[in-house]
Structure 1
Amino acid sequence: MNTPPAIAATSVARPPLKSLDDALAQLLAHAAPLAGAQTVSTFDADGRVLAESVVSALQVPPEDNSSMDGYAVRSADVMQACAELRVSQRIAAGAAGVALEPGTVARIFTGAPIPAHADAVVMQEDCEILENKPGFVHIAAQPRLGQWIRRAGEDVMRGSMVLSKGERLTPAAIGLAASIGMNQLLVARKPRVALFSTGDELVMPGDVPPAEMRPGAIYNSNRFFLRAILLRMGCEVNDFGIVPDQREATLEALRSASASSDLILTSGGVSVGEEDHIKPAVQQLGSLDLWQIAIKPGKPFAYGKVGQAHFIGLPGNPVSSFVTFLVLVRPFLLKLQGATDVTPRPVAMTAHFDWPRADKRREFLRVRRNGSGGLDLFANQSSGVLTSAVWGDGIVDNPAGKSIQRGDVVQFIPFSEVI
């Protein structure tokens, strides 16, 4: 009797996980800076990205001025302490004095221009007005040449570039622009972002009281923190709310968003479940790449195009969505605005905790700085525990396969650096 040949078992090999660095490089390669720029009031430029460099038409300070309330002197007239000199003039900020006569001093105030021939300022605490000798002052301290004088141009020289194209403006940068007379700045256009929430299990806070939540329902937290971060990054957010788990509703929302957005951002809904309609809808209208990234939390990630709009799908678990946004979406949005510095700068700090469970993936651990100059670890590092991102003030970027012992130096990224 002939026996049938054995049928060899076959399996489809999963593609290897993509490293975060490779995923970020591929993502940024798609992020061409948006066309167009706009002129805004310097008052309203916080967080915007400069579309052109700022060059100073003047020097700051415009002339030598006093950095202290006191008396402008010729140092040669005060060769020793206890000199008694006549006050020949009074110079307030915004006023101009005359050349200082030999053997006299000028009463001067902070920010006032230094009169010609004066070469030092003695602060008023080292001087005493002589009651028995009206109009004279007693100089109790011998000044150093140039003491308490801010030199013309020591902050900004005329013709120098003070802010660079592609720089994201901070409050200090706005103040610097104002100091050289810039009342308006040319900045990159705001990215227009369509925000989607998908899933029939999602409920908006306020729609249903906690005691009346149906089994399996959850409040939509991702929509709130993603919108908040997008607004902080200077994006225009079009919130499409919760899209029902229906193919036609998903297609219609994507069509509408693609016509008016630079980026469509979703969380969840890109797996292979029968009720996950985002993936096939994006593929029907455009293109989609699904990546499995070697990070924890946040392995699943999707990038594609719907028409001319970029599409990014984040994981559904809140901490996975939060971390993946910070390490991938944030740099992408900055690149769209033409920013030159898109990745955060970690700080070397000491771990005041043990993390013996080395993972095959690169980990982002939620931590908090303590009063001893080190980092404490949140006890529960689950991807569903959003409490960890509230308790913590940053994340440790821990390489794959690396355990941590108390006292080790780790790479800390404060949330203030990325949010």
Structure 2
Amino acid sequence: MSTYHPRQIAISDYNYSLPEEQIAQFPLEERDQSKLLLYRNGRISDARFTDLPSALPPQSLLVFNDTKVVQARLRFQKATGGTIELFCLEPLEPVREVQQAMQQTFSVVWKCLVGNNKRWREGRLEMPLGPYPEDGALWAERLAPAEEGFAIHFTWSPGNQTFAEVLERAGLLPLPPYMNRDAEESDQERYQTIYAAEAGAVAAPTAGLHFTPAVMQEIEARGHEQAFVTLHVGAGTFKPVKSDVMEHHYMHGEQLSVSREFIERLLHHGNRPVIAVGTTSMRTLESLYWLGAGIYLGLLPGEEEELSLPQWFPYDVRTTISVQEALEALLYYLNSHKLTHLQANTHILIAPGYQFKICSGLVTNFHQPQSTLLLLVSALIGPSWQKVYRHALANNYRFLSYGDSSLLLP
């Protein structure tokens, strides 16, 4: 256990200058033609993403996040001509689990960001769901302030549609704030991974955007394995760190869902490499160890009976529990609760000083300065993150969501 505590990290130590022209505003024509920076044991080389299968350590298990981005932005026109935009963040009622919330009919309550809130003095907002009256409508009623947003009560007609179907008809794709444009038709396809399956994210797990069927077939042909977890990426992934030190930064929570079969597979994978495809997959994998350790030690779940991993748990809990023991504790928990899937909230902050338990490498894009995602990269490869980012900037790599990729093997 490291004595270094990330609470003391100064975010200003994780800054760099990112020119506007190196932020990718649109994807490349072909997903897998992006550049791939290879970092292996301190050495850097340049490749194409199609080279990834041959660059992986032998017998790797690649873990993908199969969350699907929902059209979470709702733009209501007021009768007076003004626009109110609602950005759905997370479900509040009648259920808080994202996948269940997406299947609700008739009405839901979600926490939303409200654009132009001052112009919304009172009353319900209304949006037609099509050009004809029989197509129905969506209504939004503001209930009360919620942390970093408002509780919004949505109702719709016809009421037998699921909320997922309503968003599909009424919503807009939520591109990241650093893309200074509205979503276009092409984004409907390109801002989703080809394996997206579980609706609930408000941002794409962007490391996965480079994968094509050909790349995934080549990964298998070279003797690697592939597996899927679900972590619904929240808007908090773009939340800037505003405090000088991390002690005062509240890490956003995200919902994860992992099958019993996946945990068993991880258990039997032994000491072979586990490569996370994206920071969200890495967050999920490392959370599994700490959730299992917390259950093993009797520290989790808390009084609320919901499994939730606190931000500083990995740094404050001293334990020598093995990965095998932690995963077996998760299986015991599933069996005793007669569950097929582990569902939990994770607030884990992976930052320098973190000791990795499951992941041995990472496929990831290039992240914003002074972000928690950059802290995660530094936790994995140490101060070499600066060398990697200098190389990427000097060699015209494209940055952020639609940008190029890297394979980081410490």
Q: TM-score, normalised by structure 1?
A: 0.23
The structure, 1 or 2, with the larger RCO (C-alpha pairs under 8 Å, 6+ apart) is 2
Query: Which one has the bigger helix percentage?
Result: 2
- Indicate the structure (1 or 2) with the bigger Cα radius of gyration: 1
